[in-house]
Chain A
Amino acid sequence: MQFTLKVWRQKSQSSKGAIETYHLSDISEDMSFLEMFDVLNDKLIRDKKDPIAFDHDCREGICGMCSMFINGEAHGPGRNVTTCQLHMRSFKDGDTIYVEPWRSSAFPIVKDLTVDRSAFDRIIQSGGYVSVNTSGATQDANAIPIPKEDADSAFDAATCIGCGACVATCKNSSAMLFVSAKVSQLSLLPQGQTEANNRVQRMVNQMDAEGFGNCTNTGACEVECPKGISLTNIARMNRDFLKSSMG
């Protein structure tokens, strides 16, 4: 297969970026999107040019590190996949593909397609945990039965990989899907309910402080989320937030 790639290049956070064009041939349809980038970088390096910086690590769709905005969609055209799990068979021979970084003022660009998502870490630090020490001297794991439906819903919310596709996709750069997934996971479980009010207040405050926008119920985040995190979580968080605000 052959492709024309239009890739965002930006040397550093402060420098001005631009789209550059690259042509690739002999691409196998079984290659992953990132393996196609490996081929391109190999070529650039052999030509003594600067390779394209992009984040990636596990390459099996779970670490949440890869983050490319492909043809106007976070993680590209596939549904429920990360960039690393996107394969070239999803494109047509001869396609022109645009690749950009996540764009949000809360995710400053480090270089090329690499951005800084530490705002997400700071949101979790503001309250995305159960306040229990790690001594192991808790009660037996089976002491509190949890209805399977609640446990399953908590799990579904907990599968968020923190990649930031929701923010990149949202016209408001809102982080509501990310934040609500963690709020929901913990408020659905008895272990997390004790501090649920405090948690939602603190996490929403931190989200605002980081400069993420608000939610206007467009639902694009849910469509582009590689883990299929549901909008229901946002509704649940709004409810929890309102409840906690009323004291």
Chain B
Amino acid sequence: MSMTDEAPRLIERPVAAGDPSAAPGTPSVATERDVVFRSEDVNVYYGSFRAVRDVTFDVRKNQIMALIGPSGCGKSTVLRCYNRMNDLIKDARVTGTITYRGTNLYDERVDPVEVRRRIGMVFQKPNPFPKSIYDNVAYGPRVAGQKKGLDEIVENSLRKAALWEEVSDRLKDSALGLSGGQQQRLCIARAIAVGPDVLLMDEPCSALDPIATAHIEDLMQEIKQDYTIMIVTHNMQQAARVSDTTAFFTADVRSENDTRTGILVEVDATQKIFSNPSDERTENYVTGRFG
């Protein structure tokens, strides 16, 4: 395992997906330059059922934002709002506003496909395509229409994902032959290859062993200088270790009809959330008294 001797830093962003200011939609609010996402009163509904209520927070550039909370509190649902992944779920509806660098993500002129090229995603279960390692990483650039310079993109992305050393001699082998941790880093390389601005990570380490988890966490620290990262995690230590800001969610359970709605309890600097939270529910959770 060569995490350290191959410092993945010198690489420039492989694909420039266009100037953000050229994206459609009107800048609705004047924002500070380094606010990547601004969410205001975001609600997510599945049909008539409200899964998440009134989420408001900002995500800043080159920061790692962790979303934590007990199961069923809507963390993943919230995360999937930021690259329009919830569009794929029938009956899912998002209200409120989420702006990405000043542009409303849910403006009807916004193309979700373009959004996903700029806001990449890494999923809970490593999901490499049943193709070669090379084709996995080249997939995104290829569907974006790129034909030249793929070798370079693949190498750069794999280097950034700290996987190049392990796979450079077998790029044509099936990605399914990699270990779980390698597969997840491959998925990170695949997400990086399209040159995104933000990475959304939905419990990326929940299927990995501690060593592979440490790899991914180191990797996040390395790449945060280039990307803004939002990570959902079940693991509080992980949130404490890797993130700059933490948002704590909990579920508002209504026993009369057995439904639960996710609510945002508080957002603050990670250190404060874990040492001196303002809300009692957060304190109970992070000290292990609840959830």
Do A and B form a real pair? Answer: no
